[in-house]
Amino acid sequence: MNRKTLQLKQWIFGGIWLGLNLSLPSFASTFYQQPFPTTVEEAPLILKGKIGSHYSDWGKGINSQKIFTYYAFQNDETLKGPTLSNTNSSLLVREIGGEKDGVGLHVEGAAHFETGETVVVMVNPLNSEGTLDVHGMMLGKLNIEKDANGDEILKGPALWGSSSTFSLNQNPRPWTLSDLKRLIRQQAAATPPAENSKASQKVTPESTPSLQPSQPPSSILPQANPISQPPKLPLFLVIMFFGALGISILLWKFLK
């Protein structure tokens, strides 16, 4: 292999390497801090209740090669979203990740729940399995703790760095459950009537599946599916651009 051929290969692979390094970060999972009121506004359903038993199992349909953890959720109060046909009804909340049949799937940023804890959980409407997916992964879970005054204080990643919007002219204080309810009422009052009519549809928790695992699929190769921001350009276009740039520079050097 002569020196010019070696230089040509170095320029080509250099351009491809640069293209990959500029484009791959756009595929990474992105969790960015946003104001808590925005997180609340984007959540379709917000429920308050207690976590019961849980198990991990394969999903169904297009999710048959992914492992989810299913949590029994005793819904005590619907804070936002469609009216449940029953208060105190048991639902299944689903989050990606878990271990099944000796196969483990860990997704960075997924929400984790403990049996017996009281939480506020932001979820999407019922999916095709009849379960509720956590909205925003770990940003969709808020723990409830009582302070010395008996106030129910909210704790969770969605509140990191935030202070209550109801005390802007005072010293910052933690968010309380009462603050959250007040915020939801304010946002609902500002929502156009057309959107409010969509939110009036009822959810029927009686149709949710029982807390029993199903049979695993024949193909076992789970893949993580974290929240990600789509790339601005297709990867192959970036690679082609920088590859062509490397070749052009090399040809220019030869013509000098």
Residues 63, 127, single domain; the answer is: yes
Residues 71, 22, single domain; the answer is: no
128 located within any domain: yes
3-state SS assignment for residue 113: coil
Residues 141, 56, single domain; the answer is: yes
Is the pLDDT score of 116 beyond 70?
A: yes
116 located within any domain: yes
* Cβ-based burial of 196 (10 A; exposed 0-12, middle 13-18, buried ≥19): exposed
Q: Which residue has the higher pLDDT, 54 or 24?
A: 54
Residues 21, 47, single domain; the answer is: no
Among the residue ranges 18-27, 39-48, 66-75, 104-113, the one predicted with the least confidence is 18-27
Q: What's the sign of the alpha-carbon dihedral 202, 80, 98, 145?
A: negative
- C-alpha–C-alpha distance, residues 63 and 65, integer Å: 5
Is the pLDDT score of 9 beyond 60?
A: no
Task: Indicate the number of domains in the chain.
Answer: 2
CATH number at residue 54: 2.40.50.120
Q: Which of 192, 207, 222 is the last residue of a domain?
A: 207
Residues 238, 160, single domain; the answer is: no
Is the pTM value of this prediction over 0.85? Answer: no
**Predicted pLDDT of residue 87:** 47
Residues 129, 242, single domain; the answer is: no
Residues 93, 176, single domain; the answer is: yes
Residues 130, 240, single domain; the answer is: no
**Predicted pLDDT of residue 34:** 82
Is the pLDDT score of 214 beyond 90?
A: no
Residues 61, 19, single domain; the answer is: no
**Predicted pLDDT of residue 242:** 67
Q: What single letter denotes the amino acid at residue 50?
A: K
Work out the mean pLDDT of the chain and round it to a whole number: 74
Q: What's the sign of the alpha-carbon dihedral 228, 81, 123, 35?
A: positive
Residues 21, 110, single domain; the answer is: no
**Predicted pLDDT of residue 8:** 47
40 located within any domain: yes
Residue 27 CA, distance from chain mean position: 15
63 located within any domain: yes
Is the pLDDT score of 56 beyond 90?
A: yes
Residues 12-47: tens digit of each pLDDT: 444 444 444 443 333 333 456 688 999 999 999 999
157 located within any domain: yes
CA–CA distances in Å: residue 242 to residues 167, 202, 245, 250: 52, 53, 5, 12
187 located within any domain: yes
68 located within any domain: yes
Q: Which residue has the higher pLDDT, 30 or 241?
A: 241
73 located within any domain: yes
**Predicted pLDDT of residue 160:** 83
Residues 47, 168, single domain; the answer is: yes
Domain housing 13: 3-28+230-255
Work out the pLDDT band at 79, boundaries 50, 70, 90: very high
Residues 75, 147, single domain; the answer is: yes
> Do residues 124 and 203 touch, judged by C-beta distance below 8 A?
no
Residues 149-204: tens digit of each pLDDT: 889 999 999 998 665 544 444 557 889 999 999 999 999 998 776 655 555 455 55
